[in-house]
Amino acid sequence: MAKKNVNKVTIVGCGPGSKKYITGYVMQQIINAEVLIGSRRLLSLFPDADIDTYVLNNNYKLLITRIVSLSKTKKVVVLVSGDPGFFSYAKLIVDKIGIENCEVVPGISSVQLAFAKIGRTWNDACFMSLHGRSGKLASVVKKIMENEKVAVLTDNSNNVKLIARKLLGVGLKDRKIYVCENLSLENERIREFDVSSILKVRVSDLNVIIFLDED
């Protein structure tokens, strides 16, 4: 029979990238951690942590096995970007080991900061992610056609230009597009475009795109 976890696995939201957006409670969990697991980008925020660290390389199956085994004897803290409840692998971990064996600690999502930067509310927005999901392009376009405010997470290949070309293809030219790049980081940049002009510019890989139907 499988041994029960001794320690709860703590999954913390590290915010959009800058340490200034990490909450005090999340920081406390990280300070008390015996093992830290996360992407290279997030682990690099804590270069002085003198504890075991494991880099996440999209090998989620191996990751879960490792988390379960490590948490039998150690306090394992898993770092996720933004908020764990918003398009993160926290779901995989919670589904696999059960919420009774986890503590999920909220963080500030990249979309929260994006909406704050453009001075709009997000309670009336729709959200979609194209990050690692090329099959979702048609649903994203449909969502933008049917809603006044849509925020989309993208990656380097499933990007805003791909969406803009599809929008032009269905005759939708009148959307304001906010490109919110590298939020909270030194090279943060917030720019506004229309559907045609976005095709002419270079956009960083790390971005939140907000589509607005307004004058």
Ligand X SMILES: C[S@@+](CC[C@H](N)C(=O)[O-])C[C@H]1O[C@@H](n2cnc3c(N)ncnc32)[C@H](O)[C@@H]1O
Residues of the shown chain interacting with ligand X in the complex, contacts defined by CB under 6 A: 16-17, 80-83, 86-88, 109-110, 131, 153-155, 180, 182-185, 206-208
Neighbours of 43 (CB within 10 A): 17
* 164 vs 180, beta carbon nearer ligand X: 180
- Scored b (16 or more CB within 10 A) or e, 47-59 reads eeeeeeebebeee
* 12 vs 153, beta carbon nearer ligand X: 153
In the bound complex, what is the minimum distance in angstroms from residue 215's beta carbon to ligand X? 26
CB 143 within 8 A of CB 150: yes
Pairing of strands 126-129, 35-38: unpaired
* 5 vs 107, beta carbon nearer ligand X: 107
In the bound complex, what is the minimum distance in angstroms from residue 182's beta carbon to ligand X? 5
In the bound complex, what is the minimum distance in angstroms from residue 66's beta carbon to ligand X? 20
What residue is closest to ligand X based on CB? 82
* 16 vs 68, beta carbon nearer ligand X: 16
Q: DSSP string of 133-175?
A: -GGGHHHHHHHHHH-SEEEEE--SSS-HHHHHHHHHHTT----
In the bound complex, what is the minimum distance in angstroms from residue 19's beta carbon to ligand X? 12
